[in-house]
Amino acid sequence: MKHTKIVNLLVALSTINSFGSALTWTGLPILAFYLTGSPLFTSFLFITSSIARIVTTFFGGYYVDKYKKITIMILCIIGSIFTFSFLFLAIQQELFYLLVPLMVLNGLFGSANALAQNIWMNKLIEGDNLVKHISARNSWFLSAKTLGFGLGPVFFKLFAANALLFDLATYVISLGIVLFIQKSYVKDETIDTVSDRNPTKILHNLKESFISVWKSKTLSELSILETINGMITPIIISVSVFVLDLRYDASTAVFSGFWIIGGIGSILANMLLSKVDVYKWSKLQLLITSNALIVGGLIMMTASPVPIFYLIGFSLFTFGTPIINNLLRAEIFIKAPNHMKAKYKSITIALSDLSKLIFIPISYLIIDEFGVVSFLIIFTILSLFRVNYSFKILLSNEKTIREEGDSIA
């Protein structure tokens, strides 16, 4: 019961953080462009956030395993509060050159905070309920992000720099929730334990983490698949905006429908997965369902003569993606040794982000050189490989993963 209350509070905390971050992520670049008139400067706000996330996830796992999760969360939230306060003052004083470094700093705090929350929630749940729990909390996060993405440009247009105060307020509320958890529940040392009680130096630890991942056949394969997983969806989303304009000369309503359909598809899929026990399904059923939705959706997007069929295909793709994503994330967490769960999680996140940064420009080169259809065919084949190879690994390692997961729980 105590664990359930903590998990519910952590989900509420993460949902609030997701909403505030989404507001700023979509709204601040628009405000920056309005204030500076520089598209290059504005684009840096997106790029530096991704780089900050990669740096934090590579090294953040070391500290999340070394220190108590709630300590990391409190320090990161306080850091974000100070960062946003300085960000607000920088805009008021027209010190626009500070926007990028301050957003990088906030990205470092935010990524470390999210990693600590994620690992702590997983450790409190762990077991066959993990996939259901990941799906349930993802439905909350995605709902908050979808709402925040839509409201961000509106808020920053109406309130200008004052819109940052909404995000700042979410951090203040988050700090209150974390301090309440600390005061009410974390007196018991078993609630928030230090995973790695004898940590080595950080660079040596990072090296050992990579060696450990690649020595484990299951973990190395799962990490590679998670890298491909994290790459495909962001690239499809990023490139689809270009495809809709280039291929269909889409209207504003179509672009809005694209974002809404993508968000709703992911939310509904996660809500459904939170209500069912996927481990009771046969792997063949999951394989057929995933292929029908993900690959079938991409085929429809490739062959669509009009925008509406492209949007329907995209909705199928986003509805099917959480099945494979959530299974892989649960299996990686269960398979990872108890003292290295944060490090393994951070490695997979960082590899996913790196692949995204590398392959987004490559995707645009493919479209420019070979056309939209060739790009979609390549990603359909890649998705077909991803889904089928994922289930081959999950099926062949199912018994081992469950036994080892029970032994380290």
143, 168, 188 - which closes a domain = 188
| Cα distance between residue 35 and residue 156, in whole Å | 12
Residues 164 and 234 in one domain: no
Over the stretch 24-39, which tens digit does the pLDDT of each residue have? 877 887 788 788 777 6
CATH assignment of the domain containing 307: 1.20.1250.20
Q: End of a domain among 188, 205, 240?
A: 188
Per the prediction, the chain carries an average pLDDT of: 78
Residue 401 has pLDDT above 50, yes or no: no
Pick the last residue of a domain from 188, 205, 228: 188
Provide, rounded to the nearest whole percent, the portion of the chain with pLDDT above 90: 14
Report the distance separating Cα 51 and Cα 58, nearest Å.
11
Name residue 119's amino acid.
I
Number of domains in the chain: 2
| Helices (H), ranges, 276-295 | 283-290
DSSP 222-271: HHHHHHHHHHHHHHHHHHHHHHHHHHH---HHHHHHHHHHHHHHHHHHHH
Q: How far apart are CA 150 and CA 26, in angstroms?
A: 8
Burial of 310 (0-12, 13-18, 19+ CB in 10 A): buried
My answer on whether 139 and 63 are in the same domain is yes
pLDDT band, very low/low/confident/very high, at 189 (cuts 50, 70, 90): very low
Q: Are residues 132 and 266 in the same domain?
A: no
pLDDT tens for residues 337-357? 766 666 677 777 777 777 777
DSSP, res 303 = H
Contact partners, residue 254, CB within 8 Å, separation at least 6 = 244, 248, 307, 311
pLDDT grade for 172, boundaries at 50, 70 and 90: very high
Range of the domain at 173: 1-188
Q: 373 and 320 share a domain?
A: yes
Q: Label residue 197 exposed, middle or buried (CB < 10 Å: 0-12, 13-18, 19+).
A: exposed
Residues 182 and 213 in one domain: no
Considering the domain architecture, whether residues 365 and 274 belong to the same structural domain is answered as yes
Q: DSSP string covering 88-116, please?
A: HHHHHTT-GGGHHHHHHHHHHHHHHHHHH
My answer on whether 126 and 204 are in the same domain is: no
Q: Based on the domain organization, do 255 and 383 belong to the same domain?
A: yes
Which of 64-78, 162-176, 238-252, 371-385 is the least confident region? 238-252
My answer on whether 180 and 227 are in the same domain is no
**Average pLDDT score over residue span 34-50:** 67
Q: Please, how many CA atoms are within 13 Å of residue 244, restricted to the half-sphere of its CB? A: 23
Asked whether residue 132 falls in the same domain as residue 168, the answer is yes
- Name the most confidently modeled range: 22-26, 108-112, 334-338: 108-112
184 and 203 fall within a common domain: no
Are both 122 and 44 inside the same structural domain? yes
